[in-house]
Structure 1
């Protein structure tokens, strides 16, 4: 590389780094902090309504976060989209094809899986459903709910094909049971307003007596075989206050809807999403009834199907302090290399400037040396000295023109050139006189 090009290269590298830093800063302040793609869940499902409300709240509270909705056909497709890395967040249900790479950000909803029987029914456990007809409430999740029923039947060695299903609107389930068309009804809903409460109300109204829930006394064992379920206690009066349904606390099963992220998501990003959800829960509840059902995942759960994301776990364990510590850690990770790179550029520039100064000083010293040699040189020696002198003068002029010689070195170089020229001319005059 020509000598004059090296300092230019270093200069332009420094300019490029500065421009890059300025562009990144401008991007940070003027563009969205993050763009997240999230599945919306099945149309008209409670989870979809909750997520839509969450997107609305986040867009208003955090203008630097942009959320793109990705419609999916069902919960299986939602989980598949996360596994295929097509989305950053997905709504999944623990008993429906949970993604292998998923980790929990938040629990959006916990639904009890209940089998409702008419008062005085001879059916005592799920095995008694064999060769019976069960009503399935019509809705967006009727296929997923029947899959949950199949798992329960499989545990009790009841062939799924031996239990006939009759899909009915909620209001028709009670009359169908009164007419003897169905022996039981499947209800999947939260402990609170939802499908389970509506099914119980329909049956109670039609039968003129409170229904009863099929107890799941073997729930703990069933969960070990089908980890998509959870074992829960259903308190007295959960689905009807007077007369209470159930009439005593019974063992039951539940499934959870979760907002899930891939394990590859940075901890600081997952923590920020979890923090946004839990901090805005009150606002979400005010806009959507489903907001009241949002809860933090259990950090003490043993061998969970969808473990808590480490970023969310750190936030839940230590609160905002943990979140900001994680954020600061990432700033250090990015800032330290940039700082080291800037220091390296400064060192290189300093070394180049020192080298340039040494070259200027050596050139001046050589001019002074030529002036001394010229005073005693013979004709041949003087010609050699004059040739070298002209080369040094040309080099000085070129360096000065290219900006490679500092301005404060110009007077020194000029004095050295003038001194050498006078010595050479004086020796020429002496040789001619001799």
Structure 2
């Protein structure tokens, strides 16, 4: 019987060792899984966001600025990168934005916009410059020529040369004429490309000229100088209805051309001239996240000087006016940075933290259930041990000798050892250990009572010696039982 108990105990020990190994491997696997998930989340959270920006045509100032911006973003290795989508013109860039094939687009504020387009950055401000030649002096004449067109109202019936072949410039001229009381249909227009300035200056059928661009634009300055040499000193035409135009068409703003802005000899104009302007914008769809747009806005602002070293025109990039009502709304990401209402880290990611805690709580519960499942054999065996002790308590009452009691106590001692190992391994809980203690207490009482009965009977010396040993073992077992409880 002793050899059988030893084999059983050895088998239990081997099984427990295998379970410990499996549990350790499972814990390691779960740990690696959580670590891997955290690493992946960290990688995707910290890697730069790449935005597609549509701009065109190639070689234009807009294209050069965006290319320089893309290079600056890449070299700084910050939170946003740019991928340039080169288009044939602004209209195509805006179409890509509206179709969702671009995240950002460069376009003039008075063009047809996608319904959900919003302003991110003012790339530059385009001023309308209208002028007419005064005519050349005749040979030997000392009289200064008088321009036949002195104001916009005089343009009716005269042809205007417009720089830039975009339909937006011709449409803008019609707005100006209508607001100034001139029938736009009675003012014919001829449009010239930016590479046709000399051809425009030689065209004698033209009575006035129009350019739309930044005040420091070389194209506008060259056009003024070329027409002055060919047709005489320019007379700059004031748009007196500029404020009315700005009120009626929110995409335009009332502005002034400062004196001597165009470098010449002498510098022109000799006084400030009232006009209108239209913004050239970097646009985004409303669906683009606030965090991404805010990061892009902050980054371009920080790198503006670096971009301007490559393309001087980049210095004109500025923030949109958040206090002014405009037809194109300002993206919430840009507005948050400008107004100082950008959400904090906890505001942005607080929900994710709570979600992570919820997941960890679920993992903990799942781990506890899994431990219970893996330890189900130990719990079943502990129940079996308890039932064995209860069964032995019944057998104790009919034991014929002290030797039989000693044998049952040894068996119980082995059960106690296994039970305590189960408890140390976490296979059983304190409640189960308490129930086991009740069964053990019942067994000890039964042994004590039966031993007292056997002592009361006539004993031989051998039996007396065995009884003494039995009493010592019983006392030892009780002490161990108390420690286990």
Q: TM-score range by the shorter chain?
A: 0.7 to 0.9
Partner of residue 369 from structure 1, selected from 390, 393, 398: 390
Summarize the Cα distance change of 1:265–1:166 in structure 2 as closer, same or farther, 3 Å threshold: closer
Any idea what the Cα deviations from partners look like across 1:116-170, whole Å, max 9, x if unmatched? 1113434344443233211123x5x544322322333344452347413152611
Structure 1 pair 37/124, CA: closer, same or farther in 2 (3 Å)?
A: same
* Distance in 2 of aligned mates of 1:316 and 1:367: 78
CA contact (8 A) 2:128 2:213 kept: yes
Q: Please state whether the residue corresponding to 1:81 is helix, strand or coil.
A: helix
Change (3 A) 1:232 1:369: farther
Q: How many Å apart are 1:234 and its aligned residue?
A: 1.4
Contact 1:131 1:164 (8 Å CA) reproduced:
no
The runs of 5 or more residues in structure 1 that have no matched partner are 378-392, 417-422, 424-434
Give the distance between the partners of 1:276 and 1:63, measured in 2 at CA.
8
TM-score (norm: length of structure 2)? 0.68
Alignment of 1:25 with 2:42, yes or no, is yes
For the pair shown, which has the larger CA radius of gyration, 1 or 2?
2
Of 90, 97, 112 in structure 2, the residue corresponding to residue 97 of structure 1 is 112
Aligned counterpart, 1:310: 332
Asked if residue 193 in structure 1 is aligned to residue 217 in structure 2, the reply is yes
**1:163-312 superposed matches below 5 A:** 163-167=188-192, 169-176=196-203, 180-209=204-233, 211-240=234-263, 242-301=265-324, 303-312=325-334
1:187 shift after superposition = 0.8
The equivalent residue for 1:389 is: none
Partner of 2:74: 59
Q: 1:250 to 1:367 in 2, by over 3 A?
A: farther
Aligned partners of 1:314, 1:264: CA distance in 2, in Å?
16
Does the CA contact (< 8 Å) of 1:133 and 1:166 recur in 2?
no
- 1:194 and 1:327 map into 2 onto residues whose CA distance is 45
Kindly report which structure 2 residues correspond to 1:44-123, keeping only aligned pairs within 5 A, or say none.
44-62=59-77, 65-119=80-134, 120-123=146-149
Tell me if structure 1 keeps the 8 A contact 2:80–2:295. no
Report deviation, 1:79.
Answer: 1.7
| Partners of 1:161 and 1:59 in 2: CA distance | 52
Contact 2:55 2:86 in 1 (8 A): yes
1:394-413 correspondence to structure 2 within 5 Å: 405=427
Instruction: Summarize the Cα distance change of 1:261–1:186 in structure 2 as closer, same or farther, 3 Å threshold.
Output: same
State the partner residue of 1:132: 158
**Aligned 8 A contact 2:160 2:207 in 1:** yes
Q: 1:366 to 1:172 in 2, by over 3 A?
A: same
SS in structure 2 opposite 1:147?
helix
CA RMSD, Structure 1 to Structure 2 (Å): 4.3
Q: Which has the higher contact order (CA 8 A, sep 6+)?
A: 1
Q: Secondary structure at the match of 2:318?
A: coil
Q: How far, CA to CA, are the matches of 1:231 and 1:371 in structure 2?
A: 105
Shift of 1:95: 0.8
In the TM superposition, residue 63 of structure 1 has moved relative to its aligned partner by 5.9
Is the 8 Å Cα contact of residues 267 and 326 (structure 1) preserved in structure 2?
no
- The answer to whether the 8 A contact 1:82-1:262 is kept is yes
Which ranges in structure 2 are unaligned for 5 or more consecutive residues?
A: 1-18, 135-145, 399-414, 439-445, 447-485
Equivalent residues of 1:40, 1:52 under 8 A apart? no
1:87-110 per-position Cα deviation (integer Å, ceiling 9, x unaligned): 111111101113321222211111
Quote the Cα distance in structure 2 between the aligned partners of 1:183 and 1:157.
16
Aligned equivalents of 1:45 and 1:181: distance in 2?
29
Tell me: CA distance 1:103–1:366, structure 2 relative to 1, closer, same or farther (3 Å): farther
**CA deviation vs aligned residue, 1:303-334 (integer Å, no higher than 9, x gap):** 2122222222222233xxx66x5445323333
Write the distance in 2 (CA, Å) between the matches of 1:270 and 1:368: 73
| Runs of 4+ more than 6 Å apart | 10-14
The answer to whether structure 1 residue 147 and structure 2 residue 174 are counterparts is no
**After alignment, is 39-48 or 180-189 more displaced?**
39-48
Deviation per CA, 1:370-408: give whole Å up to 9, x if none: 43345579xxxxxxxxxxxxxxx9xx9xxx9xx9947xx
Distance in structure 1 (CA, Å) of the matches to 2:79 and 2:339: 26
Q: 1:374 to 1:191 in 2, by over 3 A?
A: farther
Residue 352 of structure 2 corresponds to residue 334 of structure 1? yes
| Shift in Å, 1:185 | 0.8
- CA distance in 2 between counterparts of 1:369 and 1:122 reads 124
Q: Is the CA contact 2:55–2:90 (under 8 Å) kept in the aligned structure 1? A: no
Is the deviation greater in 339-348 or in 51-60? 339-348
